[in-house]
Structure 1
Amino acid sequence: MTQSDFTRLAAMIFGLFSLIVAIAAVPEALNRAGSIGADSIRFAMIAISVAAGVVFLRARATIAMLRRIAGSTGTGPLRFCCALVMPVPVLINSLSGIVPYWAGLCIMGAFLIAFVFPGLAFRGVIVTASSALSMQDLGTLAKPMIHRNRWILYGYSAATGMLVLPFIFFIYAPQVILSEAYRPVGEWLAFGLPLGVIGITMLPLFWVVPAAARPRTLPGLTVCTAVTAFLAVAGYNIMLLRSVPAIAARIGGSEIVLSYPILTVEPDQTGRFCSRSVQIGTDAGPVKLCNFSPEMFEALTQSETLQITGKSTWMGQVASVIDVPG
């Protein structure tokens, strides 16, 4: 098998894999609908998987297009975009488990070799002189404008810091049973706040692009902004809908015992991130709890209610003990 044959085969299999897992994930995503933030991320990832499938199934044309673009922009931005898209179908596959986990990893590995590192699809690409500006160039151009006004500087510094926050909170993100009062507030903040932060941090870069460099700079900058916004929304969902309520409960919550009705029981053990799950009804809507031990799960299948003990605030409750009443 030649290098060209391998890259085309890797692209076609990845495209087919992306389409299959996206189609299979739609019913599961609709079944889990209920949270604006989580639903937005879930369906956005399905859309990305579908788009990747459509693009990479046309392997020959797509590889030719990528090589042509790399000739003017360099291979770095394209490798970066491929690296971001690469894990999306594998994550989407965790919803349905239609493709074996090991097969998904093998497909992702072949795609990695073909399009990221060492990037066989880009071997032999000759990069021509380009008027496109790099992110470093844009940062250099925007720096005087940001520092000229201290309010812009303060706002930009605060927004940049807020992009880092979700990664700090990610280390502590237990599942929380959100309250009816906090859930809609948290969901709107988790969606709107990161978009506002991205707007503050990225708009200066758009403003400083010289007219001559816009045709080749703005497309890449737009893609970078969209990817950053997607990651920011995902990070803020974890921070505001899990970490913040959990930390608030640990610090200032009071210990309470609450019982919830069991809506559905799913014994599927093929899921890598959520197996032996139970969906309970709360005042704020259905909540899915995952990864129970076989003994506990067997007891839950024989019960109509689930009892949770844990600290709680107006934001929600963090479970420390989950049991069957009686």
Structure 2
Amino acid sequence: MKYSWLMLLEHEDSYRYIPQLGDEVMYLRQGHEEYLKGSRQLDDCPWNRIKGLKDVELCKIQGLDYTTFRGSGESCCKLTIEFIDDTSRGFGRTFMITLPELVNFPDFLVERTRFEASIDRNWTNRDKCKVWWRNELEEGGSWWEGRVSAVKPKSLDFPESPWEKYVIQYKNDGSDHPHSPWELHDTGNLWVPWKHPHIDLGIKDKLLSELDNLLELSHRNQDRYGVLKLNSVAEKSDFINRFPVQFSIEVIRIRLENNYYRTLEAIRHDATVMLANAQSYFSKSTDMTKKIRRLSDWIEQTFSSL
């Protein structure tokens, strides 16, 4: 079974945007337009409501809901996105996007620090680079090496947009391939100078300590918080088929260990989704309902103490 892109426990070797609540992102209207035309989706188009949007807009993920994509049944997310640049015509306004896994289409939402680092890299003609090509039908992919053969706006309608501005010619491939700078990696060290952003390490260590204590208590006091039971059922097929994502205390713990989370909001959001799934799944069990309520109180107290 292919593992859901929304259930990764650590960052991949290549970059792609997987939303977390609270993220600051750069939104590229040009890419969104191209995506909607190709996918025939009926997403909210902010440029129809807000005139004068810039080619690249600074935004924040203010809402994140998980669902299944119509037609495919694959997990996807519904994002509520707010324009947060006070110089933008859209400042303070929001729009929504339904985002499935983009296997063969570039990101038009890019985590802010990744975007800024890719622009600062200032790729020029003849620069060597690597691009990750993802497999369509299974996990993984492969790196392709090439050179920048041209730098030019893809469309004169978006002269300031870096969207697919770089034309790459691969080794053993005579054709040209347009790419955006956040898709390009140096052939030496892939992640210099950019590193994945993460929460404060002191807070991370405190949360891990609290989770370890919770798990130890659960083994000693007959799973008073329902943690062990939830960790177990989250891996069962009926639970997996019922919910688009299957978060558990164990998933959150491993993500913390791997510096997966960019904000505290993201951790708390995973915990909130976990509790909602558990409440639904165990709705007919009085015992588990009580335990989940205790777990909810524990989570609230833990985050309040940070």
TM-score normalised by length of structure 2: 0.29
TM-score normalised by length of structure 1: 0.28
Higher strand fraction (1 or 2): 2
Higher helix fraction (1 or 2): 1
